[in-house]
Amino acid sequence: MDPEGILDFVRARRLAVVATVAGDDSPQAALVGIAVTNDGRIVFDTVTGSRKYANLRRHKKTAIVVGWEDEVTVQLEGIGEEPTGADLAYCKDAYFDAHPDGRERQDWPDIAYIAVRLTWMRYCDYGASGSGIFEHNVSG
């Protein structure tokens, strides 16, 4: 499977587990609603008081797991950043396309959007179709 096929798999899902690193280097994970931008970034919203937000402000590296039904999953790694200006509008549009209810949260004073620029991805199918494992380093 090529990287675009992996992103198509991710686009078809609305939820992911995002893992971040706390200040004491302990791992922390949370279930979030996600979207994929046309340029291949994973976007989610969070409140600025959340652990994941604080963790990403300190240490931008993150891991994401998408899918688990039928023993098919995608593992992603990347750099989580807060977009600004026109890029923020672009990321929010992608997020709202996937999560129309997200528009209700955009006016919250403590809402933030995170866009994860992917550095690595792996598709694994251990289920009945057993199509295998496909791993890609992402450049750019």
Position 111 pLDDT exceeds 70: yes
Domain CATH for 48: 2.30.110.10
The domain tally of the chain equals 1
User: What tokens were used for 122?
Assistant: 């792996």
Q: Name the pTM for this structure.
A: 0.93
Give the pLDDT of residue 95.
98
Q: Tens digit of pLDDT for each residue in 25-37? A: 999 999 999 999 9
96 lies in which domain range? 3-137
Helix (H) or strand (E) holding 93: helix 85-98
- For the chain, the average pLDDT equals 93
Closest to 65 in 3D by CA, of 26, 34, 96, 98: 34
Q: What is the pLDDT of residues 8-20, one digit of tens each?
A: 999 999 999 999 9
